[in-house]
Structure 1
């Protein structure tokens, strides 16, 4: 299927449905729970998981259904961090292994590809300034929280 991906209904509603397109009333609802961090992630990826999962949860944009996508993002983040460490260590230009000619570091290629993949995931999760600016979230005030506690909704 070609063309622009459909926007998730939750994002469409939070943005105020600016295009006034029909809301999918049959869209499945994913559970709101924060997914558990997969054991297979390396240390850097696990640290990013805990950092970003808290942010997404606070924004109301994380579900247990997002576990694989979040794990993929964290894996690519870790790859980017490790590649950038190697670029700092060896530089952006290295000698080719066969004849010693200057060439672009393979680590720079890995870092660039990982960064582009990260950007795509960040947009999907609403974690870039431009993608975040299109999302509207109803913010609760302290008075709202007190009222919820009073009526037993909190």
Structure 2
């Protein structure tokens, strides 16, 4: 797995890349080359979401137009969309509690598929 972040993503996205890769390594999980675009998507949208949230914290959710109307800042919609994309990618990478739970259930199903009824019956009858 490529452990270094792509050069084209911004510093916030690179920092998040390093954090996620570290978590994946610590959990002894693997990300294949085909998963890297999903990780990129997650990190880029994380950075975009964080930037918009910081601006909204300092400037507020609305602004007054030159005509005196109050409008929602475009960053609200940008932040919401980035968060949606970030969470979708996080689920694909197994970074959310629900996605990890589903992955663990899939592992259990694979283990159960290897269950040998005949062998289990022989062992149970000998006991």
**TM-score normalised by the shorter chain: which range applies?**
0.7 to 0.9
RMSD: 1.8
C-alpha distance 79-86 of structure 1, shift in aligned 2 (>3 A): same
> What's the counterpart of residue 80 of structure 2?
112
Are the equivalent residues in 2 in contact too, given 1:79–1:111 (CA < 8 A)?
Answer: yes
What is the number of equivalent residue pairs in this alignment? 105
> Which is richer in helix?
2
Mapped to 2, the partners of 1:35 and 1:64 lie a distance apart of 10
Are the equivalent residues in 1 in contact too, given 2:41–2:86 (CA < 8 A)?
Answer: no
- The Cα shift of 1:35 comes to 4.0
Q: How big is each residue's C-alpha offset from its partner over 1:126-147, in whole Å with a ceiling of 9 and x where there is no partner?
A: 1111111122279xxxxxxxxx
Q: Give every structure 1 segment of 4 or more consecutive aligned residues whose post-TM-superposition deviation is greater than 4 Å.
A: none
- TM-score of the superposition, structure 2-length normalised? 0.74
For structure 1, the 5+ residue unaligned runs are 1-32, 139-154
Q: How big is each residue's C-alpha offset from its partner over 1:84-105, in whole Å with a ceiling of 9 and x where there is no partner?
A: 1110111012113x41211111
Mapped to 2, the partners of 1:87 and 1:113 lie a distance apart of 15
- The Cα shift of 1:54 comes to 1.4
Larger Rg: 2
Mapped to 2, the partners of 1:128 and 1:106 lie a distance apart of 28
Partner of 2:103, secondary structure, is coil
